[in-house]
Structure 1
Amino acid sequence: MDGLDEYGQPLNIEYNKRRNQKKALSTLKGFLEGITANQELNELELLFLWGWTQENLEYGGDFVDIFEEINHISKLRMINSEDKQNLLQLILDCIEFGKEFDDLDSRVNRFIGFLRGVIIDGNLDLAEFETLVRKLDETSDFLAEFPINIIHGEVRKILSDGIITKNELNDLLILLEKITGNEFDRTGSIENTSLILFDDPIDYELEGKKVCFTGKFLLGTREEMKQVAIKRGMIIHNKPSKETNLLVIGSLNSRDWIQISVGRKIQDAYKLIEKGYPILITSETRWAKKVAENNQ
């Protein structure tokens, strides 16, 4: 019988392939909705879309069609408005006629894909914001889920006075970049390597505190992180609970953190925080600095 790996994911290869294909297709559909929210395509969006579809060619279908169209355009000496319009129409067709999954996980994947698409160029304009508002209205069954609830709360604040300012859109853009790990416009990298949304300072001594680790760590395996904590008199929790003091997140996490076990533990911790339990959620970097302080 197939078991789970250390991150709680199934070891069965065929199961993983089907699940990953389903996730990739759902995320692609959302991403396409995001980059076309203002009915325009810019060079940065095309570059990211080309790289991402190339990574996922094994899943066929829309990935191949879009990749080949962008590849064709990239070989032209000059990309004119007609070329962009043809690609835009192909994308809109993929959104309308592409395979769709209606289970909750797939819909969350699609929404997260949408967020990435909206902000991939490092900009959030009014048309994209209005599309985001509409998308939130369509996702009422998981608005209470973390981190969708944070986004929903910020959007409600922006709408509360009936005036949408550039500063408000910029602040929301920063929040969405933190949640999605999206820095493509600055780094040119499709992958994300950190969860910068979570970096609470550790303002107490480690001894006697209860700690939980999640994700992949730059400094070693999760088991090695636990041993470091134990040597400093800490108590290990395998998952967040009412008694947990600290959740430490590894640095080497993919842009899909929300859909995997890393995200589940963060969600669990966040729900406890909302109920008043004082759990800190912090980064591997801040954890390492605190450990170094204790060594002095």
Structure 2
Amino acid sequence: MELDLDRINYKANQSKLGNLFLGFFEGLFLDGRVRLQEIEALIKWVEQYPEAVAVPHFESLYDVLLKAVEDPEFLLAQHQEVQAHLNIFKNSKYFKEHTSDVQRLHGVLAGLACDSDYTDDEVLGLNAWLERHDYLKADPIYKELLIALNHVRVLNRVSVDTKEVLRLTLSKYVQLNNFGLPQIAVSSSKESQNPDFYHGNVEILGKTICLTGASDRYTKAGWKEVIEEQGGIFKDDLTKTAHYLVICNKGNSSWAHMSYGRKFEQALKWQKDGANILILTEDDFLKFLEGK
């Protein structure tokens, strides 16, 4: 029996979007209140991901949202009703703990960052969320956040320095000045450099290279051809022995959870375990392919 991959991918992406929005709402309510700017961000998210409206068990939640569009004060007054709808989704068969919670975390970060302001209560709320979900400690982003909020746990207060470290951490995954939308497109410009990316010399001859995401420059077959022409070894699947993981500029619409996908997260994990995988952007990689 032939698998309907489009249908499987559609359902998987629906689930990701549902979990992302679940976390986004949680992020809005971290400090126990909602600002009008956060409501504007929520509306922007629905415009960006209209397919999320079709996620099972989210219909009633979007009914609440539509009322908030007409009257922003409505959402401020209906926190408990919204929370009840979130709980219904969390108790449904579409919600799978652990996998869903990682995706929720990315939504929580967006909900926190979407108004470009982090109150002490929001930071403390994020730290409490992390403590309640400590079984996610293997997730790279979770680990980064623990480090960023270390002083909060030690001193039980929020400093200016902690907020700045948190801002820099969030900027790797969230568009801070664009309603907290995910960082999808990948650039190697100084303004948007991810510190996890490698910016040094690249050796292609005899090296194993894996790509993730979509590219405007080449198809997958095209990348394979240009890499092998220069003596590199193209691999579709990432392994611990790979030398480079290239993050393609166009990104991938299914990267709804604000990192650069599972290959990126796996590479980070293997790096911390001692593997010599270097992660770089398509732009930086192409400089060496073209000899520039």
Question: Under TM normalisation by the shorter chain, which class is it?
Answer: 0.7 to 0.9
Q: 1:85 to 1:271 in 2, by over 3 A?
A: closer
Give the C-alpha shift of residue 248 in structure 1.
Answer: 0.3
In 2, Cα distance between the equivalents of 1:255 and 1:12? 14
In 2, Cα distance between the equivalents of 1:140 and 1:265? 22
The code of the aligned residue for 1:252 comes to K
Give the C-alpha shift of residue 186 in structure 1.
Answer: 2.3
Give the C-alpha shift of residue 267 in structure 1.
Answer: 2.2
Q: 1:284 to 1:63 in 2, by over 3 A?
A: farther
Asked if 1:287 corresponds to 2:280, the answer is no
SS of residue matched to 2:38: helix
The question of whether the paired residues in 1 share the 8 Å contact of 2:27 and 2:112 is answered with yes
Q: 1:271 to 1:152 in 2, by over 3 A?
A: same
Could you tell me which residue of structure 2 aligns to residue 244 of structure 1? 242
* Mapping of residues 1-296 of structure 1, within 5 Å: 1-3=1-3, 11-13=5-7, 15-54=8-47, 55=50, 56-59=52-55, 60-73=58-71, 83=74, 85-100=76-91, 101-161=95-155, 164-178=158-172, 180=173, 182-183=174-175, 185-187=176-178, 190=181, 192-195=183-186, 196-197=193-194, 198-254=196-252, 257=255, 263-292=261-290, 294=291
In 2, Cα distance between the equivalents of 1:158 and 1:200? 30
The question of whether the paired residues in 1 share the 8 Å contact of 2:106 and 2:257 is answered with no
Q: 1:66 to 1:225 in 2, by over 3 A?
A: farther
Aligned residues: 277
In 2, Cα distance between the equivalents of 1:113 and 1:187? 14
SS of residue matched to 2:177: helix
User: 152-161 or 62-71: which moved more?
Assistant: 152-161
How does the TM-score come out when normalised to structure 2? 0.82
Deviations 1:230-262 (A, max 9, x none): 122212233333432111011222475376996
Q: 1:113 to 1:205 in 2, by over 3 A?
A: same
In 1, Cα distance between the equivalents of 2:170 and 2:74? 30
The question of whether the paired residues in 1 share the 8 Å contact of 2:114 and 2:180 is answered with no
Q: Any gaps of 5 or more consecutive residues in structure 2? A: 187-192
SS of residue matched to 1:66: helix
Q: What percentage of aligned pairs have identical amino acids?
A: 22
Task: Give the superposed CA RMSD.
Answer: 2.9
In 2, Cα distance between the equivalents of 1:274 and 1:127? 32
Could you tell me which residue of structure 1 aligns to residue 189 of structure 2? none
The code of the aligned residue for 1:58 comes to A
Q: 1:239 to 1:213 in 2, by over 3 A?
A: same
The question of whether the paired residues in 1 share the 8 Å contact of 2:60 and 2:85 is answered with yes
Deviations 1:63-88 (A, max 9, x none): 42133112211xxxxx6xx5453244
In 2, Cα distance between the equivalents of 1:262 and 1:273? 16
The code of the aligned residue for 1:202 comes to G
Q: 1:44 to 1:221 in 2, by over 3 A?
A: farther
The question of whether the paired residues in 2 share the 8 Å contact of 1:123 and 1:173 is answered with no
In 2, Cα distance between the equivalents of 1:43 and 1:260? 24
In 2, Cα distance between the equivalents of 1:285 and 1:164? 38
Q: 1:2 to 1:105 in 2, by over 3 A?
A: farther
Q: 1:205 to 1:98 in 2, by over 3 A?
A: closer
In 1, Cα distance between the equivalents of 2:26 and 2:235? 40
The code of the aligned residue for 1:47 comes to E
